[in-house]
Structure 1
Amino acid sequence: MNNLQGAGFASEAHRSFGLDVCRTIACLLVVFGHMLGHSTPHPLLAGFAFLATFGVDLFFCLSGFLIGRILLKEAANWREQKIAGLTGFWYRRWMRTLPLYLFFFFVSLRFDWAGATTFAEQFHYLVFAQNFAWNMTDFYRLSWSLAVEEWFYYCFPLVMLLMIGFGANVRRAAMIVIALFMVVPFLARFELPIESLRYDDARYVVLYRLDAIGFGVLIAYLYTWHRPVFERLARFWYVPFAFAGALILMTRQGLPWTANSKLEQSLFFTCSAIFFAALIPAFFSLRASRSNVINHFVKYTSLISYSIYLGHIFAFILVISVLNRYGLYERVYLNPWLVYPVFIACVYALAHLTYTCVEKPFLALRDVNSVSKFKLLVGLSRFGSGK
């Protein structure tokens, strides 16, 4: 992958091993959480399926940090570039996320867990309108988190550009927008304007979850302009870790969903975002282990994590379908020690295939086009200056 740091391009050489660890943990928490809903695991083990929720929370915070760093760096040129800077950011993000999302959308029309459906019935998924401020159906259920991400990609830089247009510098504009993304979802959850929405489904609504990414951007803000605070968070990692552990234990006991207070329930989401975001500096400071096997596993899992996330349910469906076809369902599926390794192998095989055939070609196309645009801008700049 091409490396033009000044233009905001990333490369494999500049990947953070610690952030790869974070992405791997988040991804596998989701996979194992969903996998525990299958077969006949021990009740004690099955009780940890809820960890899938926290895997997504961790990824939201990580995404906010990663994309926040890019935005804060690129926004320094937005006063001159304006629309070009914004559309360039959208282009790179959408070339990264939309091709695989659309691929599995069309696969879902025929092979989704909820059953086959039609394009006409699910057209709104193409504009991420499936769960903006309302509960979504069971069709392509995994897409709820992608909708949160895409609305963040669209709204956050747009509002930030607006603030810059009103005369705010990048630092002030970023702080204003971060504050909005932390406060608005909290108030929306507290009010819960949709009567038909159960609160334990609120976690799947875009408007209610944007603060998780917003707190990740706050960590990027600290990294950019308050590095001592960022490094202090890394040193005292055990404090947010302890609080995050307490939240997980509370969830294990059924809280906050059994609480009657909307304030407590909304605060739970906020606290979850704060504590997981506060762990990002610790992950960032991690260095590769002495084991090459672990290092390769982490880097590879992180590399194909998007394919793993969107494809793992279909891998489960494929395995179950094959077991049924060959009369092995009761012998294999009902034994978790047999079916879980098969599930994991199929998840990685499918993820490798979709990464190679769908993600990678579009990433290569994105980077080639981005480099061409960058060279064109450099050439025009030199021409204009007479060099």
Structure 2
Amino acid sequence: MHATAKGHIIQLDGIRFIAVALVLIDHFFSAVNIIPYGKLGVTIFFVLSGFLISRILLKSKEHYVTEPDGFKKYIRKFLIRRTIRIFPIYYLLLAILFILNVPPVREKFAWLALYGTNIYIGIYQTWLGSCDHLWSLAVEEQVYLFFPFLIFFVSKKNLIPWLAVMGIASVLLRFYFYFSGKDWSVSYVTMPACLDSFALGGLMAWLQLYKKDIFLKLFDKTWPVLLGLLGWILMQYWNKSYADIHNIVDVVFDRLVSSIFSFFLIGRAVTGYGGLTKYFLENPVSVYLGKISYGIYLYHNFIYNHYHSGPNHPTVRLIHKIYQHFPSLEGNLTFEACLFSFLTVIVASISWYFFEKPINSLKDRYA
């Protein structure tokens, strides 16, 4: 495992880059894309979050559980560190969007500010335009509301059954939503219907900390990753056999199969890939883009959205000016996607160096 002195696993930055790149490919090629790369990218993020948060909480529990007022210290540390990492950039973005009156921020501000985007989508079975993608951040925040309690108050031995029940219940809930005729979006964005991803991440953290021999047997080879990828590919072919794109495969099984693939993809990165995969995940570009992936994900839909960026959107106007000088590029989706990605990385980099990184340094006080 290639990790820093503080225990930061280098290859996981490369995994973050893969996840956010899948989202960008899906969203920036929306006009022609028929493969759900974005859904896979979000699932990778969910499993990774489940692993990292569970790992942090389990280690923190070991440190505080025997101390007086141990739970207060444990929960205080977790909440402060999560607040420092997540809230500043999120609320800065909301403030800017509110001032610029970017739809639908002013109309739905309470839902956005309270991380209720996914709840809104689930209740009204409608999306939120340029703010659609914030549903996944809402899911993660809602998971953070109960995960610290689960890990602290459930014994080490009993945690795995709890995670198993959580994962199975999540899949069963998606079955229920599907057969009750709910719109596919309900199964997709509702927090309890996403918990199989987080449960697998939690299992991975538990195995790494307490069953190192089993962890190594599971993740020291690359073939399970390839098998998981094959399963995901076969699922896409199965999905295409249905006339309705939001069929039982898409609604119920997609997240489960994607989570299993992500489980092995991430676990192998923890033990450490070798060869070309190691180079790809650990090269400075992948590591940097993975490090700023939160900003990339947060900003990208406002840089450009195929369905919601109108003719007066700054990026659309920039494209038209480029086409005036280089008409041969007009309609070239690859050029457009590269341009959108470049602009997104620029904005995320400015955010990282001038806002996020200075604030994140405060986390060291609560290490």
Q: For 2:250 and 2:340, how far apart are their aligned partners in 1?
A: 37
90, 94, 98: which one aligns with 1:101? 90
Q: For 1:263 and 1:29, how far apart are their aligned partners in 2?
A: 20
Deviations 1:348-368 (A, max 9, x none): 111101112331122123334
1:269 aligns with 2:250: no
Q: For 2:260 and 2:241, how far apart are their aligned partners in 1?
A: 16
Q: For 1:265 and 1:31, how far apart are their aligned partners in 2?
A: 22
Residue 239 and residue 70 in structure 1: after superposition, are their counterparts in 2 closer, same or farther (change >3 A)? same
User: The residue matched to 1:117 in structure 2 has which SS?
Assistant: coil
Moved more, 341-350 or 133-142: 133-142
How far is 1:207 from its partner? 2.0
Task: Letter of the 2:11 partner, please give it.
Answer: G
Task: Letter of the 2:81 partner, please give it.
Answer: R
- TM-score normalised according to structure 2 size: 0.81
Q: For 1:79 and 1:16, how far apart are their aligned partners in 2?
A: 28
1:349 aligns with 2:346: yes
How far is 1:308 from its partner? 0.8
Given that 1:57 and 1:212 are in contact with CA atoms closer than 8 Å, whether structure 2 keeps it comes out as yes
Q: How does 1:114-263 map to 2 (within 5 A)?
A: 116-117=103-104, 119=106, 121-132=108-119, 134=123, 135=125, 137-139=127-129, 140-163=131-154, 169=155, 171-192=156-177, 197-199=182-184, 202-251=187-236, 254=239, 258=244
Q: For 1:12 and 1:330, how far apart are their aligned partners in 2?
A: 49
Task: Letter of the 2:299 partner, please give it.
Answer: G
How far is 1:215 from its partner? 0.7
Q: For 2:72 and 2:281, how far apart are their aligned partners in 1?
A: 45
Task: Letter of the 1:56 partner, please give it.
Answer: V
Q: Which has the higher contact order (CA 8 A, sep 6+)?
A: 2
1:90 aligns with 2:75: no
- TM-score normalised according to structure 1 size: 0.78
How far is 1:29 from its partner? 0.8
Q: For 1:120 and 1:264, how far apart are their aligned partners in 2?
A: 31
Q: For 1:362 and 1:157, how far apart are their aligned partners in 2?
A: 23
Q: For 1:365 and 1:138, how far apart are their aligned partners in 2?
A: 33
User: The residue matched to 1:142 in structure 2 has which SS?
Assistant: helix
Moved more, 55-64 or 251-260: 251-260
303, 320, 323: which one aligns with 2:319? 323
Q: For 2:151 and 2:7, how far apart are their aligned partners in 1?
A: 27
How far is 1:187 from its partner? 2.6
How far is 1:101 from its partner? 1.7
Given that 1:144 and 1:206 are in contact with CA atoms closer than 8 Å, whether structure 2 keeps it comes out as no
Q: Give the number of aligned pairs.
A: 346
Moved more, 254-263 or 50-59: 254-263
Given that 2:25 and 2:337 are in contact with CA atoms closer than 8 Å, whether structure 1 keeps it comes out as no
Q: For 1:261 and 1:108, how far apart are their aligned partners in 2?
A: 35
Residue 313 and residue 307 in structure 1: after superposition, are their counterparts in 2 closer, same or farther (change >3 A)? same
Larger radius of gyration: 1
Residue 172 and residue 296 in structure 1: after superposition, are their counterparts in 2 closer, same or farther (change >3 A)? same
Q: For 2:360 and 2:107, how far apart are their aligned partners in 1?
A: 29
CA RMSD of aligned residues (A): 3.3
28, 46, 64: which one aligns with 1:60? 46
Q: For 1:329 and 1:251, how far apart are their aligned partners in 2?
A: 40
Deviations 1:59-94 (A, max 9, x none): 211121112211111112235311221121121112
Task: Letter of the 2:291 partner, please give it.
Answer: L
Q: For 1:16 and 1:160, how far apart are their aligned partners in 2?
A: 22
Partner of 2:296: 308
Moved more, 182-191 or 257-266: 257-266
Give ranges in structure 2 of 5+ residues lacking alignment. none
User: The residue matched to 1:158 in structure 2 has which SS?
Assistant: helix
Deviations 1:187-211 (A, max 9, x none): 3212229967312552222221122
Given that 1:215 and 1:277 are in contact with CA atoms closer than 8 Å, whether structure 2 keeps it comes out as yes
1:28 aligns with 2:14: no
How far is 1:241 from its partner? 2.6
Give ranges in structure 1 of 5+ residues lacking alignment. 1-9, 164-168, 372-387
Q: For 2:84 and 2:167, how far apart are their aligned partners in 1?
A: 27
How far is 1:21 from its partner? 1.8
Q: For 2:109 and 2:233, how far apart are their aligned partners in 1?
A: 34
User: The residue matched to 1:47 in structure 2 has which SS?
Assistant: coil
Given that 1:110 and 1:117 are in contact with CA atoms closer than 8 Å, whether structure 2 keeps it comes out as no
Q: For 2:333 and 2:248, how far apart are their aligned partners in 1?
A: 38
